Structure 1
Amino acid sequence: MNKGYVLNGRYEIIGRLGEGGMADVYLAKDLILKREVAVKLLRLDFRDNPQAKKRFQHEAMAATQLDNPHIVGIYDVDEVEGMQYLVMEYIDGEDLKKYIGDHFPIPYAEVVNIMEQICSAVSEAHRHHIIHRDLKPQNILVDKNGYIKITDFGISRAGTEDTMTQTRSIIGSIHYLSPEQIKGQVATEQSDIYSLGIILYELLTGKVPFTGDTAVSIAIKHSQEAIPSVRDFDPRIPQAMENVVLRATAKDPNDRYATVDQLADDLNTSLDRSRANEPRFVVPEKKSDLNEATRVMPFPPLQDQSASANDQASQRSEPAKQASKDQPPKKSTSKKKKRRRLIIAAILGLLVLLAAFVMIVTANGRTTVPVITGTTEEEASQKLQDADLQVGKVKYHSSDTVDRNRVISSNPKENTKIKKNTKVSLVVSSGPRKVRVGNYVGQNYNSVKDRLEREGFKIRKRNAPSGTFKSGRILQQDFRSGAKLNPAKHTLTFVVSTGVKQITLKDLTGMTKAQVVSYANKEEINPTFDYVYSDDQPKGRVVRQSPGANEVIQQGGNVAVWLSRGSKSSKQDTLKSFNVRITIPYFDANSDAESSSQPLTGSPSADTPSDSSGDAQATSGSSENVVFIYLKDHDHDFSTIYKQMVITKDTAVNLPFKLTKNEVGRYKVVRDGKTILRDNNVTQDSQ
């Protein structure tokens, strides 16, 4: 397709981006929405191939079900003049394969950050029961800011489908394919987890673990050979990080992580000092493996008197005169044989009668409700039919533990003996209960908190001074208005105005961290903690504060508190302190062209959730930006807020870091639930 060609009267081709096995990808301009897009066009030699067309449609269906910032969005799918095409989000960057080649070696903290974004996207797909089946660096895009996007769901499959592969065929890229897929078995979530483990291996070593002259030789290595050690390649890699690779790439899917979220959680802590002495992960030995060897059973040779029942019956059926020829019996022996035959005949008759009785009772009697919990509705229906039962009423209830469209329970219960042809009612999962949340900015915090807690949400509160909203009114929320959220899995955070009330700080010297937090909560101020060596205060006690004792600050303001590390020893001489200066950009929601045309009034009576599509308007108040700063260094944990600020213009901030020579620090700045600044590779040389 030539430059300047307008596809379907809307997408003007700018140039070719790449070529694939079945499709070509072009950069184009959407003439209606005035934006750059990527157009994926089925190649000419595949346009009459129904399987190729099905793959195109499947990719569009799979991607449009998913709502995650790390998954490439599908804008349009259509066919014109026999050309089938997809219109996708355009990512200005490169694929992860090329990124690894250009940037290797990659700092470990950056590896964690990349994998965290990939896992977020894969986890979203798995929550919708979609298995990607072809995860590889070539299907992972990295934009100019290091932001990750996963693409190509063309061979993904729904978790409820049996398979999309043809008989005896393998779908997926051989270097990243799991052993069970190579064997032709159905791909599961653990298959994607295996591919993630191979991608992590490549990020750490710059190469794939298995290579060969043919695809078959590589497949055999995946199935039979242990994954090479990343620490053999680079001994500086922490054992905890290698353990993530080893567990994710275990040959048996049952030995891998149960979910992608478990992999991400384990990897996020792999650089922590608390895991420095972690032993190497070893796949647990299974009892069943010990019993699989062929063994000679110690049975003695069969004797004549232990002849089979068939042989005995055959012997008994021979004519009596033939037996008499071989060995003429005595009269007493003949009587005993007759008596034995009568007894055997009587027993056989009783058995026949008993079998007939059982058949009659079974035909008109009872049966057992089969185990159907966790099966699909269709599978449950088939099992009930096989047990001579009927499907009764089917009700749908939300569930946080049972997947969508799978059976939660039955009535009568499983393993209950009931009459045949009885109707069994089913309760089927409609998925996790989700509640639509609104725009609560300007409303009374206590009223909103009570209402949302009744829905099952956990609520967190942060304080901030404001000249716009009265004390107790919500300044900001960390979620988008109109979103549907699962109360069991979401904690909602609100920034609440404290007005402009002034407070006088007390002397915090000598307090513990818990005492400072308790005092700060009572006075509605926000403490930030730092650590210093001190000979005057024991470890964990306050050494100094800023502003100092008896100074006046606004309620909701920040107070810096320095806690003692204890006395300094020679082992701690390598710890170095330095500042990283950043400028936090201010966002004016009222003047932004993309914000909603209806400004927020901040009226406490606005109880009805807003349907405004402007994220900034829906989550921030007036002209004030509330930003959260997260920092990780020798003393600070990245999972907690280091500092909270209210800004009304671009604001420069010095971030204090304390790192040893081998430590890597990180920071990020979050506004309205979105990361606006980030650096995952802060070292002593970053000054």
Structure 2
Amino acid sequence: MNKGYVLNGRYEIIGRLGEGGMADVYLAEDLILKRKVAVKLLRLDFRDNPKAKKRFQHEAMAATQLDNPHIVGIYDVDEVEGMQYLVMEFVDGEDLKKYIKDNFPIPYAEVVNIMEQICSAVSEAHRHNIIHRDLKPQNILVDKNGYIKITDFGISRAGTEDTMTQTRSIIGSIHYLSPEQIKGQMATARSDIYSLGIILYEILTGKVPFNGDTAVSIAIKHSQTPMPSVRDFDPRIPQAMENVVLKATAKNPDDRYQTVNEMAADLNTSLDKSRANEPKFTVQPPQNPVDEATRVMPFSPLDDTTASADANPAKREEKPAGTSNDKPKPPKKKRRRRWWIIGGIVGLLLIILAFIMIVSANGKTTVPIVSGTLETEAEAKIKAANLTVGSVKYQSSDKIDRHRVISSSPKEETKVKKGTKVNLVVSSGPRRVRVGNYVGQEYDVVKQKLEDEGFTVHRRNAPSSSFGSGRILQQDFESGKRFNPATKTLTFVVSTGVKRITLKDLTGMTKAQVVSYSNKVEINPTFDYVYSDDQPKGRVVRQSPNANESIQQGSNVAVWISRGPKKDSSDELKSFNVKITIPYLDNSSAASSDSTLNESGISSDAASTDSSSGSNENVVLIYLKDHDHSLSTVYKQMVITKDTQVTLPFKLSGNEVGQYKVVRDGRTIMRDNNVTYDSH
């Protein structure tokens, strides 16, 4: 397709991006939405091939089911003049194969980041019961910011489909295929995990683990040869990281990670110091190993060679007369009758055996595949297979949607007697954990407990005369509520206590340096701006309190920053003050009642006492906008225990309009968007 060609009146071809086995990919401009897209067009020699067209359509159907930032999005699917095409998200970058070649060796932290993004996309596909089956670096794109996108779901399948074509040929790229795919068995989620292990191996070493002159030789290595050690290639690779490769690429799927999320979680901690002395991962040998390579074929009930020799006297050996075996020959009729009797007995035995097998087969059925289906649909499938529904247990799951089946017992695709009870485990949705009132408790203890439950915990600091350092002043969530730990972030305001520090000389510092110093020693700077001939623009002119004075941690420090020398009196700033009174909110009664919901190890009485004292303080954030300040940054932070009057200094020039807002305990309680010199 030539440059400038407009496909279907909308997509103008810019140039060719690449060629595949069945399709070509072009860069195009979407003339309606004004954006660059990738257009995948089925090649001319495959347009009359029904299998190629089906695979092409399957890729579109599979990708459109998935909603993940690390999966290439499908925008449009259509056919024009016999040409089938997909319009996809354009990723400005290169595939992972080339990225490894260009950037090898890749830092271990970046390796973890790349694999986490890949695992996120594969986990989303598995959540929709889609197995990719062809995961390899060539199908993983890396944009210029290091962001990962997975593409090419052309040979993906639903979890219940076969893994072979009608000709029983293997599907997928041989360097990344799992042993069970090579043997022609069904591909599962753990087959994709094997491919992810090979990809991780290649990122760490720059090469694939198995190579050979033919595809057959590579396949044999995948099935029989132990995985080479990445630490033999680079001894600096942590053992914990090598263990991820070894477990993901175990020959037996049961020895691998059961889910992609489990692999990602293990990889995420592989660089932790706590795992520095981890032993090498090894697979435990089976208790009763069975050699599947050799199969013994049953013998026929009669040996044809022996039978024919006995039936034809001309072919038997002649024995000399007078020997012990020289007996009178039985008449031919008797011999013939004997073979008829033997044949009849054998035939009768075969008929009885066939009858037993037919009766046995008619009394058995196969447990249907129900994992991932709705509970009602699973029950219908079980009844249709002449089975009965047994117990139904509900279990929380972050991977399986609510009301969908997680597993069955007996397992799917096993032969059982008709009428057997099939027990189901059904998802009740994501796990939800009840949280309590943690005001007054030690932050580190609460943080550990909540992180053990799976929550993300954030901290903000504030001084307090009521609580010692490290105790919780406030929380941004209501106690007694239940949340999903995987998606909920809990934020606490934590007391820094009251300590005294000796103030440093800030003269000559930049504003960023003052902020950095203030965060380190836990003080709250307020900034003002003045003209100065002594300090260049943006540098501190003076401060209050002065340098070397002793102040409490959490106190306010006034800092004046230079505007540079004064140039023109016509643009002189007008200074004025705005006085506001911040109302105090007494939360003691609410905090005391919430304390009964405490889930910590401390007693209820202690929780109530700490809660009531902690709730007597309001954390206040003041935002101010004038000639020198922006409303997007905090001008002043303070803790109040009563109605408090505050003076806000404004400096405005010309037609400038000032603003301020006051946030108390996370809620905006005061705001003025039209502060002018004349109005005050």
Calculate the TM-score normalised by the size of structure 2.
0.52
Write out aligned runs for 1:29-40 (5 A): 29-40=29-40
**Residues 271, 23 of structure 1: alpha-carbon distance in 2 compared, 3 angstrom cutoff:** same
* 1:620-671 CA-partner distances (Å, limit 9, x unpaired): x9999xxxxxxxxxxxxxxxxxxxxx9649xxxxxxxxxxxxxxxxxxxxxx
Secondary structure at the aligned position of 1:186 is classed as: coil
Shift of 1:493: 2.2
The aligned counterpart of 2:75 is 75
The aligned counterpart of 2:429 is 432
Shift of 1:384: 3.7
Q: Does the 8 Å CA contact 1:191/1:253 hold for their aligned counterparts?
A: yes
Write out aligned runs for 1:108-147 (5 A): 108-147=108-147
Shift of 1:181: 0.3
The aligned counterpart of 2:277 is 277
Q: Does the 8 Å CA contact 1:457/1:487 hold for their aligned counterparts?
A: no
The aligned counterpart of 1:492 is 488
AA aligned opposite 1:553: G
- Matching of residue 157 in structure 1 with residue 157 in structure 2: yes
Secondary structure at the aligned position of 1:289 is classed as: coil
* 1:554-578 CA-partner distances (Å, limit 9, x unpaired): 79x9xxxxxxxxxxxxxxxxxxxxx
Shift of 1:69: 1.5
Q: Does the 8 Å CA contact 2:71/2:150 hold for their aligned counterparts?
A: yes
Shift of 1:97: 0.4
AA aligned opposite 1:166: Q
C-alpha distance in 1, partners of 2:124/2:293? 42
The aligned counterpart of 1:19 is 19
Secondary structure at the aligned position of 2:146 is classed as: coil
The aligned counterpart of 1:244 is 244
**Residues 39, 373 of structure 1: alpha-carbon distance in 2 compared, 3 angstrom cutoff:** closer
C-alpha distance in 1, partners of 2:144/2:248? 29
* 1:427-474 CA-partner distances (Å, limit 9, x unpaired): 894772699xxxxxxxxxxxxxxxxx9xx9968565489xxxxx9897
AA aligned opposite 2:397: D
Shift of 1:147: 1.2
Write out aligned runs for 1:106-505 (5 A): 106-163=106-163, 165-289=165-289, 381=380, 383-384=382-383, 387=386, 400=397, 403=400, 407=405, 429=426, 432=429, 462-463=459-460, 487-493=483-489, 505=498
AA aligned opposite 2:275: R
Count of residue pairs the alignment pairs up: 416
Write out aligned runs for 1:58-97 (5 A): 58-97=58-97
Secondary structure at the aligned position of 1:91 is classed as: coil
Q: Does the 8 Å CA contact 2:238/2:270 hold for their aligned counterparts?
A: yes
Q: Does 11-20 or 166-175 show the bigger shift?
A: 166-175
C-alpha distance in 2, partners of 1:96/1:118? 11
**Residues 29, 238 of structure 1: alpha-carbon distance in 2 compared, 3 angstrom cutoff:** same
C-alpha distance in 2, partners of 1:385/1:217? 45
**Residues 623, 140 of structure 1: alpha-carbon distance in 2 compared, 3 angstrom cutoff:** farther
**Residues 165, 238 of structure 1: alpha-carbon distance in 2 compared, 3 angstrom cutoff:** same
AA aligned opposite 1:505: V
* 1:242-275 CA-partner distances (Å, limit 9, x unpaired): 1111111110001111111121122222222222
Secondary structure at the aligned position of 1:553 is classed as: coil
AA aligned opposite 2:171: I
**Residues 67, 370 of structure 1: alpha-carbon distance in 2 compared, 3 angstrom cutoff:** closer
Shift of 1:152: 0.7
Q: Does 50-59 or 114-123 show the bigger shift?
A: 50-59
* 1:285-326 CA-partner distances (Å, limit 9, x unpaired): 1102179899xxxxxxxxxxxxxxxxxxxxxxxxxxxxxxxx
The aligned counterpart of 2:514 is none
**Residues 70, 37 of structure 1: alpha-carbon distance in 2 compared, 3 angstrom cutoff:** same
The aligned counterpart of 2:591 is none
**Residues 220, 473 of structure 1: alpha-carbon distance in 2 compared, 3 angstrom cutoff:** closer
**Residues 293, 140 of structure 1: alpha-carbon distance in 2 compared, 3 angstrom cutoff:** closer
**Residues 473, 433 of structure 1: alpha-carbon distance in 2 compared, 3 angstrom cutoff:** closer
C-alpha distance in 2, partners of 1:62/1:550? 64
Q: Does the 8 Å CA contact 2:190/2:253 hold for their aligned counterparts?
A: yes
C-alpha distance in 2, partners of 1:368/1:267? 42
C-alpha distance in 2, partners of 1:146/1:222? 30
**Residues 96, 264 of structure 1: alpha-carbon distance in 2 compared, 3 angstrom cutoff:** same
Secondary structure at the aligned position of 2:488 is classed as: strand
Q: Does 115-124 or 374-383 show the bigger shift?
A: 374-383
Larger Rg: 2
C-alpha distance in 2, partners of 1:622/1:150? 45
Q: Does the 8 Å CA contact 1:141/1:148 hold for their aligned counterparts?
A: yes
The aligned counterpart of 1:506 is 499
C-alpha distance in 1, partners of 2:623/2:27? 38
Q: Does the 8 Å CA contact 1:505/1:548 hold for their aligned counterparts?
A: no
Structure 2 unaligned spans of 5+: 295-358, 409-417, 433-449, 463-472, 503-517, 523-547, 558-620, 625-630, 635-680
Shift of 1:189: 0.9
AA aligned opposite 1:131: I
C-alpha distance in 2, partners of 1:258/1:278? 21
**Residues 385, 7 of structure 1: alpha-carbon distance in 2 compared, 3 angstrom cutoff:** closer
Shift of 1:138: 0.2
C-alpha distance in 2, partners of 1:171/1:290? 27
**Residues 375, 88 of structure 1: alpha-carbon distance in 2 compared, 3 angstrom cutoff:** closer
Shift of 1:92: 0.7
C-alpha distance in 2, partners of 1:153/1:399? 29
C-alpha distance in 1, partners of 2:399/2:31? 45
The aligned counterpart of 2:552 is 551
AA aligned opposite 1:551: Q
**Residues 75, 396 of structure 1: alpha-carbon distance in 2 compared, 3 angstrom cutoff:** farther
AA aligned opposite 1:187: A
AA aligned opposite 1:153: F
C-alpha distance in 2, partners of 1:373/1:87? 34
Structure 1 unaligned spans of 5+: 295-358, 360-366, 411-419, 436-452, 466-470, 476-485, 510-524, 530-546, 558-620, 625-645, 650-687
CA RMSD, Structure 1 to Structure 2 (Å): 4.9
C-alpha distance in 1, partners of 2:623/2:25? 43
Shift of 1:12: 0.8
C-alpha distance in 2, partners of 1:409/1:42? 39
C-alpha distance in 1, partners of 2:549/2:124? 47
C-alpha distance in 1, partners of 2:65/2:18? 25
AA aligned opposite 1:179: P
- Matching of residue 28 in structure 1 with residue 21 in structure 2: no
Calculate the TM-score normalised by the size of structure 1.
0.52
C-alpha distance in 2, partners of 1:232/1:401? 37
C-alpha distance in 2, partners of 1:144/1:433? 35
**Residues 181, 553 of structure 1: alpha-carbon distance in 2 compared, 3 angstrom cutoff:** same
**Residues 115, 373 of structure 1: alpha-carbon distance in 2 compared, 3 angstrom cutoff:** closer
**Residues 279, 55 of structure 1: alpha-carbon distance in 2 compared, 3 angstrom cutoff:** same
C-alpha distance in 1, partners of 2:236/2:378? 51
Secondary structure at the aligned position of 1:27 is classed as: strand
C-alpha distance in 2, partners of 1:49/1:69? 33
Q: Does the 8 Å CA contact 1:407/1:426 hold for their aligned counterparts?
A: no
C-alpha distance in 2, partners of 1:472/1:242? 43
Secondary structure at the aligned position of 1:432 is classed as: coil
The aligned counterpart of 2:98 is 98
C-alpha distance in 2, partners of 1:268/1:408? 26
Secondary structure at the aligned position of 2:15 is classed as: strand
AA aligned opposite 2:65: Q
The aligned counterpart of 1:53 is 53
AA aligned opposite 1:289: P
